[in-house]
Amino acid sequence: MSETVERTTETVRGDTGFPGFRRGILVRMGGEIYTKSSKTRRRFLRRLVNNIKLALRESGIRASIRPEWSRVLIYADDLRRAQEVLTRVFGVYSVAEVVEVPYASLEDLVEKVAPMFREHVAGRTFAVRARRRRAPFTSQDVGRELGAALLPFSAGVNLDEPEAEVRLEVGRERAFVLLEESRGPGGFPAGTGGRALALFSGGFDSPVAAWRVMRRGIRVDLVIYDLGGCGQVGQALAVARELALRWAPGLEVRANVVDLAPVVSALVRRVDPRLRQILLKRAMYRAGSILAEELGFEALVTGESLGQVSTQTLRNLAVAEEAASVPVLRPLVGSDKQEIIETARKIGTHDVSALVKEHCSIATGPVETWADPEEVLTAESGLDQDVDESWLRRTVANRRVIRLKSWDPTAEESPDYVVDRVPEGAVVVDIREPGEGEPVGDLRLPFSRAMESLDRLDRSREYLLVCASGRRSELLAREMLGRGYRAYSLEGGVDRLAESVSA
């Protein structure tokens, strides 16, 4: 089964007029659903119907929905828009615009359907594809009689490679003539497989990994790590928003932005360059596990592919996963980069992912490809004075939660204490870690040690905090305000400070 939406054979144009007959949409479920027990199948169908209602409602489409055992019939006020929306609902195998034809006999059915297809088969070879659903006659009867009625208008019958197809489903007392049909994503309805937290950088891999588990019925939220000058949070959010808008119609997807910049700084200062990337991944797993457990989610999802980079060897993945307290799902583990990029193109995230800069490497030389677990644990223990378990829990608790579908980077309102210029008379405090660049401003107070040092500051002064991106300075300014200081965060970080000084 294709894992993306693809157009299939067009039987007859959907904009052809059929006066006197009701038009609707016929949705077929993913093939795997049919293998489930009756109880599970009913549960999946209920979830699919609910997801369809939410998706159409979000798009402003009014519709009546009639579920049946193996399909769903929908009558909407905008069939074309409804069809487009439904091709992005997980659990949907195909979406066809249909004409509902009531009939009293086979002869009556042929008399009503044949005029619909005379123009369609004119001068072309054709085949009748009839499917019987409790009809009082066989599909062969329909094919024979309807084919005979259309034969004089055509170039003949060709059952193997017809130039035109006449497709219909025939039930008791009514038939559905299939017009234009589209493929859906298949898979299972969202929400039937539980909840998971996807580690999301916005590159090609993480959106495809999230999409693949979404296709298996898992509802996902995302965690994006702010690595200070070593990450692109805004670009990752733009990709996340594209994924949510395309593939979660009617459902809410949240992104959790967690600040791990102090971890990067501590790794640069205290850890052998060979092991830095591995320890950073362990910190990501650990923070992700804390957040997943807080949210009640069952697993983490990553875009890791076996052997793609040095940290993704079998040993390094195993060493990293020891830091996780929930299962780690890797839907791309057996995929190569080209396969991942092709899937990104098909699901519509490729172009926005191409704008994302890769997270910079904090290793100054080769990365260990077969890490010794004891060596990793020893190196990790040296970080506890800066970024221990309690610090990780605090930074997760202080995360920024974003509703992706409504997120607009240009419309975000900053708190009053976030400013775009240096207040007159303010003490400029550089809260970046020592490894993040030369000091700027009047005072250097690394974020990783700031909480313990705040009480030494003069409460009569005003302070402007500066970091790489503005995220850490915003968190610390909020903390200082709570302690009675007059503090501000400089929006845009050190780059904005340089612009302000030059101006």
> Which of the residues are catalytic?
467
- d(CA 20, CA 502) in angstroms, rounded, equals 73
How buried is residue 410: exposed, middle or buried, by Cβ count under 10 Å (0-12/13-18/19+)?
Answer: exposed
- d(CA 274, CA 284) in angstroms, rounded, equals 18
HEC string of 14-33 equals CCCCCCCCEEEEEEEECHHH
Residues 6 or more apart in contact with residue 430 via CB below 8 angstroms: 439, 440, 441, 443, 444, 445, 466, 467, 494
List C-alpha distances in Å: 298 to 231, 329, 490.
27, 10, 38
List C-alpha distances in Å: 499 to 319, 414, 420, 422.
43, 19, 10, 11
List C-alpha distances in Å: 139 to 152, 178, 409.
21, 15, 56
Nearest to 198 by CA among 216, 212, 213, 210: 210
Nearest to 26 by CA among 78, 109, 94: 94
Query: What is the per-residue DSSP string for 170-201?
Result: E-SSEEEEEEEEEE---SB-TTSS-EEEEE--
List C-alpha distances in Å: 163 to 9, 12, 120, 122, 128.
10, 12, 10, 10, 11
The tokens for 477 are: 């300014």
State residue 25 phi and psi, 5-degree precision.
-130, 135
Three-state secondary structure call for residue 309:
coil
Nearest to 298 by CA among 329, 332, 253: 329
End-to-end CA distance of the chain: 59
H/E segment holding residue 53: helix 38-58
The tokens for 355 are: 């704008």
